[in-house]
Structure 1
């Protein structure tokens, strides 16, 4: 996990630049950061961690979960099934973990027309605060998210 964190922080630093007004100093720092990044992503630990993460994703994708709300939302089967996978990736969980989020743990709350488009909501069992997952469809585009965004009151 430390390797991922270091690689992530270095990539953010490289994207943002170092904030110095001195172009030469900035360039030298960027080159050094790129070298550090290369060393990290070529390290056996990083390669192993990426392989393990990919194996977890493939394992999750091979399981066909069941949930009472599947087929009732108006979303495609693929989108409905992807929601719990997406949330597990966000939470750093894998389906084979005993207490990981399952599709059946999500409670479908309904669909609402909002300014961004058509929004589908689920309640997510996550800690003590109310947390919601959602799918927003706008024309041919859709995306998933989660957090404190609440469905509108009727």
Structure 2
């Protein structure tokens, strides 16, 4: 069965239209035909070379345009970056100035307040504790120290006896 199918397939291929057409269309190729085909190929090649040259020139022009655009963009970015850096320097300078001003004001204010409070305290002490009263107090403690040993010891400790 298998041999019969293979044989039928072989006969079908032999008598198929494409196989018979290939045998019938056999044409003798001459040198003149070859030259004509070569001339046609050279003409097509010349056209293709001209188109390729035009394409290459157009591509180069476009690449030059893109390169110029990139250069413009880079210059613009550098300009903006420099402006940003200058702005940041200004902000830093302003912040530093404000910080130093606040610290200076706080220092000046503290000094003024401390000086004023010292003056007020001394005035209050002088008003309440006059030097005569302090002398009387020390004298009375010395008298007391003659009778009381503890008071004498305290006055000696503070170099008042």
Shorter-chain TM band: under 0.3
Length-normalised TM-score, structure 1: 0.25
Higher relative contact order (CA 8 A, sep 6+): 1
Pick the structure with more strand per residue: 1
Pick the structure with more helix per residue: 2
Length-normalised TM-score, structure 2: 0.24
